[in-house]
């Protein structure tokens, strides 16, 4: 895990006019960012089948999908980590040569897709190989996440507090003021970023190459300090 502490220019600094002794305040924003390597993958895959009739397309699709589910069970993927996301059945139409021809159904396409939570990302490559061999022929993407985010979030919050303290001291010193006690602290933004930053770390060196990258967890706070006379 590497920690990245970023200095953002989105600082809001306010020194309020004096309304009485000890009534001046400085309001600053602090931000902390922690970067961590994900430890869980979400794989969205499924089976697409085509056949002359709707019933045949669904039967073929169900049989192939059962093979994929059996492969997941054999790979020790818990049933609670497998969730069906879509089941579709669509007619396939013959391409018309001109506008005078009536459209004609030539067959049907059935699709069954699941999302799989893989809690050991080192097994992504081998698992994809097994699933493809078992009948999976549709891949709708892979995303990465952390199983436990609170540790990273708490580290980011501490970084945010330190950042706010540094900013408040800097502005108070520049303005010739003396910083007092903390009046309030509020968290205005938090959570992992949706984008991944490539780190060149492969989740698997076997078969299908996968890059896990890293996730950024950020916390942003607003802190109000009293200014002493």
Query: Cα 203 to chain center, whole Å?
Result: 16
Which of the four pLDDT bands, split at 50, 70 and 90, describes residue 180?
A: very high
- CATH 3.30.110.170 domain span(s) along the chain: 2-38+148-228
The SS3 call for residue 56 is: helix
Give DSSP secondary structure letters for 82-138: EEEEEEEEEEEEPPPSSTTSPP-EEEEEEEEEEEEEES-GGGHHHHHHHHHHHT--E
At residue 206, does pLDDT exceed 80?
no
pLDDT (0 to 100) of residue 188: 81
**Domain spanning 40-145: CATH 3.30.70.2970:** yes
| Token pair 């169900």 in the structure block, residue | 62
**What topology is assigned to 2-38+148-228 in CATH?**
Translation Initiation Factor IF3 (3.30.110)
The percentage of the chain sitting over the pLDDT mark of 70, rounded to a whole number, equals 78
Reported as a single tens digit per residue, the pLDDT across 119-137 is 988 888 889 999 999 999 9
User: In 16-89, which ranges are continuous DSSP H helix?
Assistant: 54-74
pLDDT at 193: 58
Which residues is 47 bridged to in the sheet? Answer: 112
Catalogue the long-range contacts made by 11-19 (C-beta closer than 8 Å, 24 or more residues apart): 11/167, 12/222, 13/167, 13/171, 15/171, 15/175, 15/177, 15/227
| Residue limits of CATH 3.30.70.2970 in the chain | 40-145
DSSP 168-189: HHHHHHHTT-EEEEEEEEEEEE
Token duo for residue 42: 């979400």
194 or 162, which is more confident: 162
């Amino acid at each position: 895990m590497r920690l990245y502490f970023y200095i953002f220019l989105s600082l809001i600094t306010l020194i309020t006019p004096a309304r009485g002794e000890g009534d001046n305040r400085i309001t600053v924003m602090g931000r902390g960012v922690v970067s961590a390597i994900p430890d869980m993958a979400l794989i969205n895959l499924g089976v697409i089948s085509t056949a002359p009739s709707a019933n045949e397309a669904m039967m073929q699709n169900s049989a192939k999908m059962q093979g994929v589910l059996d492969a997941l069970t054999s790979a020790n993927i818990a049933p609670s980590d497998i969730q069906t996301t879509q089941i579709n059945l669509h007619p396939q139409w013959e391409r018309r040569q001109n506008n005078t021809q009536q459209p004609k159904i030539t067959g049907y396409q059935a699709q069954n897709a699941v999302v799989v939570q893989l809690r050991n990302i080192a097994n992504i490559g081998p698992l994809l190989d097994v699933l493809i061999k078992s009948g999976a022929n549709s891949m709708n993407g892979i995303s990465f996440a952390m199983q436990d985010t609170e540790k990273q979030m708490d580290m980011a919050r501490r970084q945010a507090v330190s950042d706010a303290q540094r900013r408040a001291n800097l502005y108070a010193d520049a303005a010739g003021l003396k910083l007092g006690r903390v009046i309030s602290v509020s968290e205005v933004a938090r959570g992992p970023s949706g984008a991944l930053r490539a780190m060149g770390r492969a989740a698997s060196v076997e078969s299908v190459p996968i890059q896990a990258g890293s996730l950024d967890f950020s916390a942003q706070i607003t802190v109000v300090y009293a200014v002493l006379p």
